[in-house]
Chain A
Amino acid sequence: MKAEEIKILLEKSFPGKAFELIENATPQGLAVSAEDLVEVMDFLHTHNQLYFDMLSCITGLDNGPETGTMEVIYNLYSIPNNIHLMVKVVLNRDKPTIDSLVDLWKTADWQEREVFDMFGIHFNNHPDLRRILMPADWEGYPLRKDYKEQTYYRGMKVEY
């Protein structure tokens, strides 16, 4: 199914909500607003024509302090229907918050923790939002564009 058809399907089911096609995205993609994310994802997950049962990848992305936005990108795949979909959510960089998808896909647990660890994007209702790759007492979020590493970590010089 094409992204345009998915968009029409979504617009029918969620009247008054805006969905945008992403240009130059492979696989095809849609942009969704952060408030509707869980509802839309639940719809995509359970609708019998779509049935996106696998959440392949969650990517965080920082557009830098000049733009003032961050993005979270979800790559969905439907095994029975063989459809790909990229779902993009744009967040405000000052206070990046988004709802967690752990209730829909359990794989979101670790992948959201990784995004939190690297970008400091907070996931509401996440059962166990701890840092996953960096130490618990590390300062700052390494993949932000304006990241500066701390000078000392527990008495060890960080910069080499």
Chain B
Amino acid sequence: MANQVQYIFDNKNLRQSEPQKFRPEDLKRDEMIVNIGPQHPSTHGVLRLEVITSGEEIVEVVPHIGYLHRCFEKHAENLPYNQTIPFVDRMDYLAAMNSEHAFAMGVERMLGIEKDIPARVEYVRVVVAELNRLASHFVALGSYGMDLGAVTAFFWMMRDREHILRLLEWASGARMLYNYIWIGGLFYDLPVGFEERCLEFVNYLKPKLKELEQVVIDNTIFVNRTANVGVLPLDLAINYGITGPMLRGSGLRFDLRKVDAYSVYPEIDFDVPVGKGQMGQLGDCWDRTWVRVQECYESIRIIEQALEKLTKEHKRDRDFDPRAMVPKKIRPKAQDMYVRAENPKGETGFYFRADGRSDIPLRCKARGASFVNLSIINELAKGGQIADLIAVIGSIDIVLGEVDR
């Protein structure tokens, strides 16, 4: 057994790992194909990159995706709207609440009941969505530090994310994939004592975020690795459909929570941080990371204000039923609907086509923010070093579940 040959060299074996855009015979002198992923920690999931290099310099990056394709759209057009929500969770699994919120909002608009949702339900949605936004940014920041060699940040961020996951588990029963926000309401009201514990957590978190800023963001090594790397000009970002912290990192104050003013966000006071090019050029990897950290502070502000409302104006009530508005039968009239919402990664959109005759959509398309954001990777990494490619991937903040859907 020990002496048995397990692998015989054959030139054809090199062609087995399709799809490959470039062939060895097409390359110019000194160029070479380097394959990164799909099983590589710095690609943040199952992303495969075909990198054409000339020495250390990157000539072209061809991403190959689809390793995590779970046919969301096919499932969605075979299931009633309410049964699709668990599949929506599994798209962006780091920010499931935000995706659920967008999906539920879209179906509520199709049914025309979005104005009748009780205020308490909307505030609870905002609290859990912002908690999840914090958790998602924590993973982004922690793993980005790890990509660049700062291991401390990863442990710190995972430690603080654990508190959020436990809070959300307390509310919904699940740690990551919640099925908590239902069409027209919620699975359950928040558990008794949640508001106090959540406020406690928020107060605990503030000094920790300051600590993170000192250790990672302002760290000289981190600044040297990220400043002036992967610079994304604003016009190119818009042309590529980039949204979320990436777009704001390039200096545009564009946040759908403000622009579309959906849910109860117009009643809440918060800022939209934008990149200023403090450490180098505007729109580099450092700016994007800095925007994420600042958004954590803004999320904390939103949570505080929403909790204030939940304990005073829209107090817990014995008779309050979060499922009161949940429709028994979800059959929207024939229409086209595109709904979008601000997820931690950017604009998540759902396109629905209802035919008015069935409970199942004729078509449900999900626009993944990570999918669109990832498409710019070639522009950002071209001409740089291979080490910078890792910095660029981390700063895009992709979740492969949402890229492949």
A residues with a Cβ closer than 8 A to B are 22, 24-27, 29, 53-57, 59-62, 73, 75, 79, 82, 84, 86, 88, 105-107, 109-111, 114, 118, 128, 130-137, 142-143
Contacts and interface: CB of A to CB of B under 8 A. Distances in A.
Interface of B: 18-19, 21, 65-66, 69, 71, 73-74, 77, 109, 236, 238-241, 252, 254, 259, 333-338, 340, 347, 349, 351, 353, 362-363, 365, 367, 371-372, 375-376, 404-405
B351 A75 contact: yes
A75 B349 contact: yes
B71 to A, nearest CB: 7
A147 to B, nearest CB: 9
Contact of B21 (A60, A73, A118, A130): A130
A118 B363 CA distance: 12
24 contacts: A24-B334, A24-B335, A26-B109, A26-B337, A26-B338, A29-B336, A53-B239, A56-B347, A56-B349, A73-B351, A75-B351, A75-B367, A88-B336, A106-B236, A111-B372, A128-B21, A133-B66, A133-B405, A134-B69, A135-B18, A136-B18, A137-B18, A142-B71, A142-B74
Nearest to A128: B21
Main secondary structure on chain B at its contact with chain A?
Answer: mixed
Nearest to B242: A107
B61 to A, nearest CB: 13
Contacts of B252: 79
The 5 closest A-B pairs by CB, nearest first: A107-B241, A24-B335, A133-B66, A110-B375, A57-B367
Nearest to B404: A133
A52 to B, nearest CB: 11
A79 B248 CA distance: 13
A73 B340 CA distance: 15
A132 B65 CA distance: 7
